[in-house]
Structure 1
Amino acid sequence: MTDLPRPLNRVFPEGIDPLYPVTIVKTRYSGSYEGGTFAAFLTEPWDVPQDAFADDRVAYGWWKEHGGMIGVGDTPDEALASLRSKLT
């Protein structure tokens, strides 16, 4: 398991969706640190960073440092749209 999300500057051939793999999960702190109730990670489910869901101190630090690379929203669709917007 890695603590850092993959870089978002990947290049894909035309017609290939850059949002693969993507994992959408409910956030632990309901948006207090994350910015939304759901988070979309550009990774396989088993690679979602556990620090993002750790205790208050660890989660706060993780989201402050890495939150800009994660899609967040109040619904799974909003989180996915947020992640997609960060790729374009």
Structure 2
Amino acid sequence: MAARPCLALFFVLVAASAAGAQERFAAADQNGDRKLDVTEFKVLIDSVAAGGQGMAIKVKRLQRYDTAFARLDANQDGFVSVSELAALQ
């Protein structure tokens, strides 16, 4: 069974070191509010895809950012927070 795009960020965080994951999240979090909107999430996925991570590449290639984002945004507030990402682990 193929991994769903909603799991892309989970695989990214597991594959990366904790410090590396935090750095990528912080770099994508352009306004520093410790949560990502759809635009910031796209920046994160593109950064990870550029690093060669397979699921991020797939999300980017298929342009499934919105689908992945919606599935990660557990409380549907329009943001993916650090706590929502931590809940995946």
Relative to the length of structure 1, the TM-score reads: 0.31
> Which structure has the higher relative contact order (CA within 8 Å, separation 6+)?
2
Greater share of helix residues, 1 or 2? 2
Greater share of strand residues, 1 or 2? 1
